[in-house]
Structures are given as C-alpha cells and as structure tokens.
Amino acid sequence: MNRSAISLGKPASTALVLVACALLGACASVPPSPATPASTAAAPTEKRSVAPSELPSGTMETLHELIDSHQLTELRTTYNGTYGASLLFQSEKLGYFVVLFHAKEFWRVIQTDSYDNAESLYRTFAEQTQSLAKVDLDALRLQAQKAYAERMVALNEQRLQALQHDLTYQQQQARLVAAQQAQAKQQTATLSDDLRTASSRLDAVKQHIQLLEAQQKNPSLEIPPVAPDPGTGGVAATAASSSTAAAPGATN
C-alpha cells in the first residue's frame, strides 16, 4: 500500500496532538506518592503486552516512514465508496496496524501486537466503512438515476417534438388533400357537363353525316326547278307574252 492510499489528515493529527498533550499535562500534575519506597522506584519495570491504542502524532509519522520504506505488508483492505479499512503487518516487530481512512486520508489508526485483536478491529472498521459509505453510495446512485431520468426526459421531449411535427405535417397534408379533392370533384362535375354537351353535338353531327351519305348513295337523278330571276325573268316573260299576242294580228 502506498502512502497516498493511506495518509493522515491534518484534523486527525491535530486532535491526536491535543490528546497527547492533555495526557502528559495530567501526569505531570500528579505528585509522587510518599509511601513509595526507593527500591520500588528503582526496580525494573515488567514487560507488558501493548494494548490496542490510538497512535499519537509521532507514531503516525513513524507509520508514514514504515509505509515509505516498504516495511509494512498489506494483509487486508476493504473499500466502500470513499471509505476504507486496512490491516497492515510489520514483520520485523510482529506488530499490526489497523487503519480507517476516508478519501485516502488517515482517519483512525490503531496498533496492536495481537493478531486476534487486529482481526477484530479490522472487521469493526470494515463494518463502519460499509455504514459510513451507505449515504455516499445512495447519493451516487440517486445522482445517476437523476441524470438518467433527465436524459430520458430530454430524449422523450425530442420524440414528442418530432411526433408533434409529424402530426402537424400530416394535418397540413390532410387539408391540402381535402382541398384538392374538392377541386377535383368540381372539375369532374364541369367535365361531366362538357362531356354531355360534346356527346349531344357529336350525335347531331353524326346524324347530319348519315343524312348526307344517304343522299349521295341515292341513284335517282333529281334536278330541282330553277327559280326565275326577279330582275330579268319578268322582262323576258313580258316580251314573250307580247310577241305571242302580236302574232295572230299579223296573220290577219
């Protein structure tokens, strides 16, 4: 695990510094017990197992150095959103570091020499990451659902506009077709009247043709009488009448 994956944030480091200073101040204010023998004070202290404890700021820097020098082995790591828990092992000192981090920044670090304690702490931190990340994961999922819904709204609005455009076009075409149909019907009625008139004229012309053809096919010769000319016919008739009337007198 690299240092960027787990690094202590400034708020956590400051809090740990304040806790350490408070503990040191409390110890300095307690006076030594007068009943304590000098031999007891000089006696060597017994080696005790290190109980799980949150690391002071100085040890946090040591942890960074161990990470940078690759002296820690990552045994387990759990990620839940931006939260994570890691179990680190220092083989040189048989020690364990259990880390809870958020956004790749240290949040809590606990050191222990007991593997069972380390496993228990790791499981606790892992469960905490799951509960802590639930809100973030829900927000992430809801944000994705909102973005998807907005995309669907935009697509359906485009589809709606396209359908409205198609419907408007269809209505315009329907009105145009209706006008063309009315015009065609009127034109049909006019053409029907013209056809009837033309048919009547055709029948009359055919009858006339048939009459003329019948006359041409008649073999009898008919000469129509010549009508007298009103200008010359009267004079000739008068002259003829006069000559006819004068003829008997001459004979006598």
Task: Give the pLDDT confidence of 128-176 residue by residue, as tens digits.
Answer: 999 999 998 899 889 999 999 999 999 999 999 999 999 999 999 999 9
**How far apart (Å, rounded) are the C-alpha atoms in residues 55 and 76?**
20
CA nearest to 66, candidates 85, 88, 51, 49: 88
Please name every residue paired with 171 in a beta bridge, in sequence order, or none if there are none: none
Determine the pLDDT at residue 215: 79
pLDDT band at residue 64 under the 50/70/90 scheme = confident
Share of the chain above pLDDT 70, in %: 65
Query: How far is the CA of 32 from the CAs of 20, 35, 64, 200, in angstroms?
Result: 21, 9, 37, 146
Query: How far is the CA of 143 from the CAs of 114, 130, 154, 190, 223, in angstroms?
Result: 43, 19, 16, 70, 116
pLDDT band at residue 63 under the 50/70/90 scheme = confident
pTM of the model: 0.44
pLDDT band at residue 85 under the 50/70/90 scheme = very high
Determine the pLDDT at residue 16: 38
**How far apart (Å, rounded) are the C-alpha atoms in residues 45 and 4?**
39
Selected residue with higher pLDDT from 224 and 140: 140
Determine the pLDDT at residue 167: 92
Check whether 2 has a pLDDT greater than 90.
no
